[in-house]
Amino acid sequence: MSPQGKNHEYICSVEAAINEIGGKWKSLVLCSLKDGTLRFSEINHKLPDISQRMLTKTLRELEKDRIISRKVYPEVPPKVEYSLTSKGESVIPILDSLCEWGKKYGASEENWEE
């Protein structure tokens, strides 16, 4: 995500927002973190269909955008905890709204020709 990097003029800031929370997994990872800190394996457990590779990648992107924070415990075996930053907390209500919206207009009973 955020392919444009720094110098890109957004027509509207929704674009910026979608870049940060869009994609296949970001919103789900954020939702899974909304009840508190989780370890890597715990997120993976909540999202069984995501691969380790994609989970890592998604977490790195969210971290880079300061939406989540990553805390490493220098132990053996490794322990890493992920949690929402204040920026991350602030987007949760919006994700909740989206969730409600998605539930209300179930993306499922319409038309599909294929």
Among DNA, a copy of itself, none, the one that 54 touches (CB under a kind-dependent 5 to 8 A) is DNA
**Near DNA in 18-77, by CB under 7 A:** 23-25, 39-42, 49-54, 56, 59-60, 70, 77
Q: Does residue number 28 form part of the binding site for a copy of itself (CB under 8 A)?
A: yes
Distance CA 8, CA 30 (A): 25
Q: What separation in angstroms does the CA of 13 have from each of 20, 62, 101, 102?
A: 11, 18, 21, 22
CA distance linking residue 41 with residue 24, whole number of Å: 19
Q: Which stretch, 37-45, 54-62, 70-78, 84-92, contacts a copy of itself (CB under 8 A)?
A: 84-92
Q: Give the Cα separation of 51 and 105 in Å (integer).
A: 29
Q: How far apart are CA 21 and CA 23, in angstroms?
A: 7
Nearest distance from C-beta of residue 51 to DNA, angstroms: 5
Among 16, 80, 92, 95, binds DNA (CB under 7 A): 80
- Contacts with DNA by CB under 7 A lie at 1, 3, 23-25, 39-42, 49-54, 56, 59-60, 70, 77-80
